[in-house]
A and B are shown apart, each in its own frame.
Chain A
Amino acid sequence: MVVWTEQERAFIQEIFGKLNYEEAGPKALSRVLIVYPWTQRYFGNFGNLYNAEAIINNPMVAAHGKVVLRGLERAMKNMDDIKNTYKELSVLHSEKLRVDPDNFKLLADCLTIVIAASMRNSFTPEKQAAWQKFLAVVVSALCRQYY
């Protein structure tokens, strides 16, 4: 069972409070598709992903980025039981979408960098640690239903 300190909970609430959901999700998803191009394999029906500009301006990437962030918000609202909150999402990613779970970490890292670029120096090392612990729990929950 994951144990959260009061400070970690506060940091994670703060980070979500400062997030512009309309921007952060799309930015993170487009960043992972650009920086780690093999992740594009899961988005064959998204149309033009030919170069960075196309990816950044792709409306399907933007829409899906928002979906991902809303999914993350569910984890934030259920921090003490992310494992069960994500059971169906895990089955979806393993059985239907068939995503190699190593790629979850890449998206998590890109989201961290988008947040760092937005929060600048207020994204202190301590906040980074709490945030990355949260994302590690999320990724682990997503990986659970892979057999």
Chain B
Amino acid sequence: MLSKTEKELIVQIWEKLLPVAEDIGSEALLRMFITFPKTKTYFNHLDIGPGSQHLRCHGKKIIEALAEGARNISTLTTTLAHLSRFHAYQLRIHPTNFKLFNHCILVTLACKMGDHFTPAAHAAIDKFLSAFSAVLAEKFR
């Protein structure tokens, strides 16, 4: 459950991340591919080498979707309906992978924000990412 303070913190943090969405998104993806190589199996159709245009573009898309979710936390199910259908019926990603990617987003944020990535910010973002992933996986079965 997200408190009012946490929801505000989440909106603040994602607004700051939007201008550097490509950097954050591509780094989080790269960390995931290198730390958890099995996640690469979902990306045979893209060039996911470090610095690749596909990686930067895809990373940006993900961060922008997360920012959209952050702005509409109370209505995640409706806001993410199309993404939810896409992940369930087309991408069909094994649900454990959401946790792996969420962890890599957190590590990326820690690297970028240092001490500003406080335990409170960490808790709020982790809860938000869990809620977001749950909606993405909602239609899986």
Contact = CB atoms under 8 A, between A and B. Distances in A.
Contacts of B120: 34, 52
A4 B117 CA distance: 31
Nearest to B114: A117
Contacts of A126: 34
A71 to B, nearest CB: 22
A128 interface: yes
- The SS class assigned to the B binding surface is helix
Interface string B14-47: 0000000000000100110111000000000000
A105 to B, nearest CB: 10
Interface in B86-136: 103, 106-107, 110-115, 117, 119-120, 122-123, 126
B107 A35 contact: no
Chain A contact surface mostly: helix
Contact of B119 (A35, A109, A118, A120): A35
Contact of A113 (B27, B35, B107): B107
> What band does the interface of chain B fall in when counting residues whose beta carbon is under 8 Å from A?
20 to 34
How big is chain A's contact interface, by range? 20 to 34
Contact of A125 (B35, B103, B110, B126): B35
Contact of A128 (B35, B112, B113, B119): B35
Contacts of B103: 109
29 contacts: A30-B119, A31-B119, A31-B122, A34-B119, A34-B120, A35-B122, A35-B123, A35-B126, A109-B103, A109-B106, A113-B107, A113-B110, A113-B117, A114-B110, A116-B107, A116-B111, A117-B110, A117-B111, A117-B113, A117-B114, A117-B115, A119-B111, A120-B114, A121-B111, A123-B111, A125-B27, A125-B35, A128-B34, A128-B35
- Nearest first, the 8 A-B pairs at minimum CB distance are A116-B110, A125-B34, A117-B110, A34-B119, A129-B35, A35-B123, A125-B31, A113-B110
Given A35-B119, A35-B126, A52-B119, 12 more contacts: A34-B119, A34-B123, A109-B103, A113-B107, A116-B110, A117-B113, A117-B114, A117-B117, A120-B111, A125-B31, A125-B33, A125-B35
Interface of B: 27, 30-31, 33-35, 103, 106-107, 110-115, 117, 119-120, 122-123, 126
